[in-house]
A and B are shown apart, each in its own frame.
Chain A
Amino acid sequence: MIKKIFSLIIIAGLLTVFIPIILNFSFQTDLPDVAKSYVEKGSKDLGAMNIVTAIIVTFRGLDTLGEVAVLFIAATGIAVLFRKNAINDKRPKQISKRDSSEILLTGIRLLAPVILIFGIYIFLNGHLSPGGGFQGGAVIATVVLLLFLSDSSYKINHKIFGFIESFSGVSYVIIGFLGLVLMGADNFLDNRILPLGEFGTILSAGAIPIIYTLVGLKVGTELASVLDNMKGDIE
């Protein structure tokens, strides 16, 4: 009871902070200066149609590299938590599971390649339309989740997944350093190491599609291995 009252007091305190913010809020009427220069340079200098992508991949590319690193560290932490002999499970391992029905299996086998292609489409078009590596990677991970849910004996190939993950991570960093080598000292992760191409086509915006493809592959395989760790083992 005392705890409830204490929580109520904290929430009331939060609300007294929130309500003046809501009441005094007024819409921006113009872009801030940073956003202005991003919108102008994003289309002119980088050739990207999607300004959010230009910010994430190029203007703030180092942050995105850090974000991918955080994701990798979280996935590694999950793998450590679920490593084989760490868990002292006293329950009997054998849980008899009913096989999935034929309709579910067939439906998911039919859907999986389509969703996979949709994920690839999302990260290939990241510089043209809403989308990008993180979203495409999440869509790819849903394919693996569907396969786990439908087929209890399905196992991912750790060799291939590990290879794709480390290959895309290393390539991402190498592309970043190529910017340093080809463009000069303050151009880490510059997308202009490749020709910018025609504005608005799929092969435009320099290295942005390549970087986002690598990010998509990395996020997809990483989330898939997180799901693989979290689903648990049934021998």
Chain B
Amino acid sequence: MNLILILGFMLLAIGFWGMLTQKNMIKIVIGLTIAEVGVQIIMISIGYIKERTAPILDSAVPLADAVNKVVDPIPQALVLTAIVIGVAVNALILSFIIRLYKEKKSLSIDDYKEMKW
């Protein structure tokens, strides 16, 4: 059992629940953000290897034996990318919400039916 993995999936489920049930658009974005954090935690915990250290080859990690001493660095690099893109996308979504609010003075998703089919 991996507690961090369970935490990540729980955050993912909570985020999806927020996105599905909330009417307030800012709360939907918050749900999206929580789900995002959940995915990031899942990715990090998948890259973990027991009793190993961070992939930084300082004095704690002998250079010759580095392959057997560090955790998987690729998920960490991916998560770094995911965080940055997540920030940019969230800022863009929130800007859309601000514009929509200025047009109609409402944050409820029910008041925007133009794009609904």
Contact = CB atoms under 8 A, between A and B. Distances in A.
Is B truly associated with A? yes
B20 interface: yes
A18 B6 CA distance: 9
A51 interface: yes
Given A21-B9, A27-B50, A51 B73 contact: yes
A21 B63 CA distance: 35
A78 B92 contact: yes
A39 B95 contact: no
A7 B17 contact: yes
A164 interface: no
A130 to B, nearest CB: 7
Interface of B is mostly: helix
Contacts of B96: 81
Interface string B65-76: 011001011101
Interface string A50-76: 111001100010011001001100110
Contacts, number: 142
Contact of B5 (A22, A56, A70): A22
Contacts of A28: 46-49, 72
Given A35-B73, A43-B66, A70 B85 contact: yes
Interface residues of A, number: 59
Contacts of B48: 27-28
Contacts of B116: none
A51 B47 CA distance: 14
Nearest to A232: B98
A49 interface: yes
A74 B99 CA distance: 15
A229 interface: yes
A145 B42 CA distance: 30
B103 interface: yes
Q: Please provide the 8 A-B residue pairs with the shortest distance between their CB atoms, ordered closest to farther.
A: A74-B88, A7-B20, A51-B55, A55-B77, A51-B73, A18-B9, A78-B95, A81-B95
